[in-house]
Amino acid sequence: AQTVTQSQPEMSVQEAETVTLSCTYDTSESDYYLFWYKQPPSRQMILVIRQEAYKQQNATENRFSVNFQKAAKSFSLKISDSQLGDAAMYFCAYRSARGGADGLTFGKGTHLIIQP
């Protein structure tokens, strides 16, 4: 079974600064997908970014980028120019690429605080 670990229960960053959230995972599969979801106080789960394991290039979405290290099974999220609206819980998630639409395996989350 796959596991996802987020070792930082809480992170704090000054507005406009850069912050990196850590995520490691364990799997015996070679093909899979990794995701970062954001959950603001409204509790809506919002996709931030997605990475396909067979792609070496790190995914980017505007101010959000990942550092995907497949050999190390590491998938960190970097948020540049942090904004007050980035304050939320962030969840790292894993999904198998094998046949059938398997569910997501989530980490326990990192609570991101933005200091004005």
Partner 1 sequence: DAGVIQSPRHEVTEMGQEVTLRCKPISGHNSLFWYRQTMMRGLELLIYFNNNVPIDDSGMPEDRFSAKMPNASFSTLKIQPSEPRDSAVYFCASSLPQGKNIQYFGAGTRLSVL
Stretch in the footprint of partner 1 (CB under 8 A) among 15-23, 69-77, 80-88, 91-99: 91-99
How would you label 11-49 residue by residue, b for 16+ Cβ within 10 Å and e otherwise? bebeeeeebebbbbbebeeeebbbbbbbeeeeeeeeebb
* Site for partner 1 contains 95 (CB under 8 A): yes
Q: Which of 107, 110, 112, 114 binds partner 1 (CB under 8 A)?
A: 107
CA angle 33, 92, 97 (to 5 degrees): 15
- Cα atoms in the Cβ-side hemisphere of radius 13 Å centred on 96: 12
Instruction: Please give the Cα distance from 78 to 108 (Å, whole number).
Output: 18
Per-residue tokens: 115: 């200091």
Q: Which of 30, 41, 71, 98 binds partner 1 (CB under 8 A)?
A: 98
Residues 22 to 81 in contact with partner 1, rule: CB under 8 A: 32-33, 35, 37, 42-47, 50, 52
Stretch in the footprint of partner 1 (CB under 8 A) among 20-28, 64-72, 76-84, 98-106: 98-106
Please state the closest distance from residue 102 (CB atom) to partner 1, in A: 7
* Site residues for partner 1 per CB under 8 A: 32-33, 35, 37, 42-47, 50, 52, 91, 95-98, 100-109
